[in-house]
Structure 1
């Protein structure tokens, strides 16, 4: 990845970012959440087949680097 944030992320966050960009292609609500309905962390765990504690750490890093952002009750992918 050419993004300057890439080397700063742990491997779990890198993997999640790659998978989330692929999901964003088929799930427009991940990029532009519908009114009052963002994709929740539980949904992301299910879609990525990840454990909630592992994904929580990756999401924290992605939010810190402004790749994901909290929206209402879930998350939005800002960078793809």
Structure 2
């Protein structure tokens, strides 16, 4: 039996229709779109188990981003409540 085919970008329409979308800089928009796709295959990004939230280093690795550049995008996503700070990392709150 074949695994279901992944449709990357399937969240794009709902994310781009969100009222917070226009308030974000381009780097945060790109990160949000990519994180919604990653959240489909990495459930701990949306619902982290206790004490095992996704760290900023992991987000940078997953998005192939420089930590310095990613910091601005993460701050913007936190301000708009797209990402949420949990105990020792982050979780995707809006997807």
Using the size of structure 2 for normalisation, the TM-score is: 0.83
CA offset digits 1:10-66 (Å, max 9, x no partner): 000000000000000000000000110000000000110000011110000000000
Matches within 5 A, 1:1-80: 1-80=16-95
Structure 1: segments with no counterpart, 5+ residues? none
Structure 2: segments with no counterpart, 5+ residues? 1-15
Cα distance in 2, alignment partners of residues 56 and 23 from structure 1:
18
Secondary structure in 2 aligned to 1:76?
Answer: strand
Say which structure, 1 or 2, has more relative contact order (CA 8 Å, 6+ apart).
1
User: 4+ residue stretches of structure 1 with deviation over 2 A?
Assistant: none
